[in-house]
Amino acid sequence: MRLSLPRTYVKKIWRAIVEFDLIQANDRIMIGFSGGKDSSFLAYALSVLKKSAPIPFEVEAVHIDLGFNPDFDFGRFYKFFEQIEIPFHVEHTRIQEIVFSKGEKSACARCAYFRRGAVNSYAKERGCNKVAYAHHYDDAVETFLLSILYSGQVSTFLPRTYLTESKLTVIRPLVYLREKEIREAKKFTGYEPIISPCPMDGCTKRAEVKNLIRQLTRKNKMVFYNVAAAMCENSIGDMWPKRLTGEEFAAKMKEFWSLKYSDLED
């Protein structure tokens, strides 16, 4: 199987790698592979790029089996990674059982936490210094709006994050690719993504925000890119002062009234 990438894809991935210092010489990178369109494309892309990169780096991949489908045939995963010449491993877990044992509330957050932990543990076991995830441009914008709407914070994930506890660096080489581009990539990767077995798939706040962005973009194509621009540090304009805590406000209110009574006495 001859692996290749269109130039438009190559330019965007290299831009992210260079701009955010994602890959250095002799890195050992572990890909978190879900079996979906995004992580399969990431694996394919890194396999292609490392063969012509100006610096040497190694790539492996791991799939964290959450336990939703005990009878799933992982043979197609192994075949795909054999074709793209990347070492691959399946790590079996009981995450699904643990996550849903307390009901569905916060299930997504708990699942992501345990899944990341499993990827990190295996990466360390294999001597990797970096973990690569396939989050793309749309994911970043959706996370940004999710944070504003449901957490009251102006925040999104970073293209590069160092984890002090595990001493691993998380990288996201696909952050300049749109989801549509990745969806269309299967025509040259030859990989058919699996359908997510998660019962929460499509029923989350992220799905709601994704749909909101889609609706707004239909009316104005610049909406997506305007939100994306707002994620950058140099986009910060006039902001309200920091919101005071209850104690800070009480102290300021006390000071305000004491000044007023002081003026009356004078």
Encode pLDDT of 228-255 as tens digits.
999 998 888 888 888 899 999 999 888 8
Q: Has domain 7-195 been given CATH number 3.40.190.10? A: no
Spell out the domain ranges in the chain.
7-195
241 token code pair: 């002062």
CA distances from 116 to 95, 132, 163, 170, 243 (A): 11, 11, 12, 10, 33
In the predicted model, what is the mean pLDDT of residues 108-130?
89
Encode pLDDT of 175-189 as tens digits.
999 999 999 998 989
Please indicate whether residue 92 or residue 161 has the higher confidence score (pLDDT).
161
Residue 123 confidence class, pLDDT cut points 50, 70, 90? very high
Other C-beta atoms closer than 10 Å to the C-beta of 67 total 16
Sheet hosting strand 130-132, strand order edge to edge: 88-92, 57-65, 27-32, 130-132, 168-171, 160-163
Residue 169 forms beta bridges with which residues?
130, 162
Q: What is d(CA 120, CA 133) in angstroms, rounded to the nearest whole number?
A: 12
Supply the mean pLDDT for the chain.
Answer: 89
